[in-house]
Amino acid sequence: MQSDRFTQREKIALRYTDAVLWNPDLADDALWADLHAEFTEPEIVELGYWAGFTSGGQRWLHTLHTRQGELAAYMDERESAKKEPA
């Protein structure tokens, strides 16, 4: 990545995210070395977990054929209905 918009640390995190989301083969020894040079083990786990969690959540929402905000609006509506007297 040649951009000046990101720090070296951010570029490494983005490379890791690409590996998690798109192509695990990108997680080669060089990437792991770069990750360990910039991040602690717990930070690496958190980055990978968060990337996978958010990507998986978005894929699940697509299977429901929802648009952004629809699930949250539905949940709010249900919560409001619970609070109304019967």
Spell out the domain ranges in the chain.
8-83
* Measured distance CA(59)–CA(12) in Å, rounded: 24
Would you give the distance in Å from CA 1 to the centre of its chain?
A: 20
* Tens-level pLDDT at each residue, the chain (86 residues): 688 899 999 999 999 999 999 999 999 999 999 999 999 999 999 999 999 999 988 888 888 888 888 888 888 999 998 887 76
pTM here is: 0.71
